[in-house]
Amino acid sequence: MIETDQLTRCYGNLTAVDALSMRVEPGQVLGLLGPNGAGKSTAMRMIAGFLIPTSGTARVCGHDVVREPTKAKRALGYLPEGAPSYGELTVQEFLQFIVRMRELKPEVGYRRFDEVVHRLQLEDVLGVCIDTLSKGLRRRVGLAQAILHDPPVLMLDEPTDGLDPNQKHAVRQLIDMMARERTILISTHLLEEVHALCNRVVIIANGKLMADATPAELEQRSRYHGAVSFSAPGSGMSQEMLGRLPQVASIEVDPLDGRITVFPKPGERILEPVERLLREQGLEVSEIQLERGRLDEVFRQITTRDGSHANTANGGTP
Amino acid sequence: MTLPGVVMRRELRSYFVTPVAYVFLVIFLVLAGILTFYAGDFYERGQADLQPFFVMHPWLYLILVPALTMRMWAEETRGGTLELLLTLPITLWQAMLGKFLAAWLFIGLALVLTFPIWITVNYLGSPDNGVILAGYLGSWLMAGTFIAIGACLSALTRSQVVAFILTALVCVLLILAGQPQVLDFFQGTLPRKLINGVAHLSMLRHFEAISRGVLDVRDLLYFLLSTIGWLLAGVLLLDLKRVR
């Protein structure tokens, strides 16, 4: 479990993290989202015990990161931003160094080493200098380092940054697999990742918590939620007809590909009436889609507007 | 293995996989030899001891120790591994101790590798080997203080060059503190007691006493305490970085 309590960090006059309070429970994968410079990494560095909070505190598995740093660090596996490691060492030397630093018993250490190396497919590069590895491999070494002691709490700062799609998929599978009994906090600015991984999202901007919800809840806030979009050549006539449907609020046409998006009035379902209308008009529709809502739009909305009234919308998290 | 031991081992490993260790050893041994035989008049003195050898050590350390210690924390800060290290379950003090011990043991190795000079002097005459042992001990203790200074100043900055220059500067000040020229400079401006204090800060004075074979507790304490003091200052500097 991770708890932060009014966690605040200032650099001179700049408040990087501003009274951040949140709680991540076992079994949750929380995605910490925010624009660059929003304070994601600073918040994680404080939870990991690298930076000391200006005020407020954080707890990892009940251990205060300021008062009991060693206990908190033992419970935590942490991948810092950019996955730093000692480049002059080989992968094997580096991971053995971590095993010793984690003070694992030799038999446990060997077993975990083998498991983690196998899981992250590092067998072939064990004897290779980390400096000469590709970015993706280096990130996997960093992940291996973080999960080596099988921690109950895992915190990953942009775990898939710089990976190709296959590697991203592998890392997501790994996180998924580990998620069951663990508490996982990942930071990212990739919205697709939120869909793929997280069952909860916290959005921060300028160090403040702006939203705390599930991905589905966030999507519902999008004006695209429940909208219907389709491509149909020569549908100029039907646009007018669509606009006359009682459930429809507005219609937009993409100027580039001519895709038509029909927005519902609040609380209305419009897929069926739209489909019926199109059929009656005898229009050839190649494909029709019910939109779930667009996270990127919600993200933009939340992180660019003035934060003063944002908190009231997210169900009362301070 | 204890945690400082783990850090020490990794640090030593880094010395030896990069050319740092070999460059250091070769330059140290070559310079120590040349300076002893040519600049130190080893033969012409006609005395069977290693004074000309030990006299050169402060000046060797002045150049070589900052080169050894400059990367100690500066590189960790710049490469981001500091974040990794400090989020592992280790205290700053343990990490500092591990890094210090690695450098100190390494200098110890360099000193051990000067054994041909010891063999030479034993072959040519019959020196007092107790005094020579004391000389080695003093030299090693002094190296410890140099390393502690370097460790502290490397924690101050993320630039290795700055760390090198600052360390060399502080070390040269501490070497020269007891020289008559320096003390004369302060004569008249500073009260007598303070000048005596400055003279007592001098590394040369304490080192020369030990290397003559006089093991005074005060000289030993000087090196021990200043080493611990500089290491503590380094830990404080690192801690300050986490707060600021």
* Distance separating alpha carbons of residues B141 and A198, to the nearest angstrom: 56
Residues A141-170 have a mean pLDDT of 90
Between A254 and A147, where is the model more confident? Answer: A147
**Burial bucket for residue B105 (CB in 10 Å: 0-12, 13-18, 19+):** middle
Closest Cα in chain B, distance from residue A71 (Å): 7
| Strongest mean pLDDT among A113-127, A280-294, B45-59 | A113-127
Q: What is the DSSP letter of A258?
A: -
Substitution target from B83, B239, B242, B243 for chain A, most A beta carbons within 10 A: B83
Beta-carbon separation of B84 and A85 below 8 A: yes
Measured between CB atoms, does B22 come within 8 Å of chain A? no
SS3 for A183? strand
Substitution target from A52, A68, A86, A89 for chain B, most B beta carbons within 10 A: A86
A10: nearest CA in chain B? B244
Beta-carbon separation of B83 and A80 below 8 A: yes
Beta-carbon separation of B87 and A73 below 8 A: yes
Does pLDDT of B104 surpass 80?
yes
pLDDT, residue A149, reads 93
Between B124 and B152, where is the model more confident? Answer: B152
Considering only CB atoms, A84 lies closest to which of B10, B18, B79, namely B79
pLDDT, residue A311, reads 41
Between B203 and A124, where is the model more confident? Answer: A124
pLDDT, residue A161, reads 82
Contact list, A48 vs chain B (CB under 8 Å)? 83, 87
pLDDT, residue B48, reads 72
Closest Cα in chain B, distance from residue A110 (Å): 16
pLDDT, mean over chain B:
89
Considering only CB atoms, A100 lies closest to which of B1, B81, B83, namely B1
Strand residues in A2-157 grouped as ranges (E): 2-11, 14-24, 29-33, 55-60, 63-64, 76-79, 153-157
Considering only CB atoms, A50 lies closest to which of B6, B14, B86, namely B86
ipTM of the complex as predicted: 0.89
pLDDT grade for A117, boundaries at 50, 70 and 90: very high
Contact list, B92 vs chain A (CB under 8 Å)? none
Contact list, A88 vs chain B (CB under 8 Å)? 14, 17-18
pLDDT, mean over chain A:
87
pLDDT, residue A302, reads 86
B240: nearest CA in chain A? A52
How many CB atoms sit inside 10 A of residue B176's CB? 15
Substitution target from A50, A74, A81 for chain B, most B beta carbons within 10 A: A50
Considering only CB atoms, B242 lies closest to which of A51, A70, A82, namely A51
The structure tokens listed for B54 are 């030990």
Measured between CB atoms, does A81 come within 8 Å of chain B? yes
Contact list, A78 vs chain B (CB under 8 Å)? 87
Residues A246-273 have a mean pLDDT of 84
Beta-carbon separation of A101 and B242 below 8 A: no
Give every CB contact of residue B112 below 8 A, 6+ residues apart in sequence.
Answer: none
Does pLDDT of B244 surpass 50?
yes
Beta-carbon separation of B242 and A73 below 8 A: no
Quick one: residue A184, left, alpha or beta (phi over 0 = left, psi -120 to 50 = alpha)?
beta
Contact list, A46 vs chain B (CB under 8 Å)? none
Q: Which amino acid is located at B107 in the chain?
A: I
Considering only CB atoms, A84 lies closest to which of B6, B13, B84, namely B84
pLDDT digits (tens, 9 = 90+) for A182-237: 999 999 878 888 888 898 999 999 999 999 999 888 888 888 888 888 887 665 65
Give every CB contact of residue B124 below 8 A, 6+ residues apart in sequence.
Answer: B48
A75: nearest CA in chain B? B89
List the 231-290 stretch of A: residues with Cβ below 8 A of B. none
Closest Cα in chain B, distance from residue A27 (Å): 23
Beta-carbon separation of B3 and A103 below 8 A: yes
Verdict on whether the full-model pTM lies above 0.90: no
Helices (H), B56-128: 57-69, 71-79, 81-86, 92-112, 115-124
Place of tokens 């101050």: B156
pLDDT digits (tens, 9 = 90+) for A25-43: 999 999 999 888 889 999 9
Q: Are strands A29-33 and A76-79 parallel, antiparallel or unpaired?
A: unpaired
Beta-carbon separation of B243 and A52 below 8 A: yes
Measured between CB atoms, does A65 come within 8 Å of chain B? no
Residues A134-154 have a mean pLDDT of 92
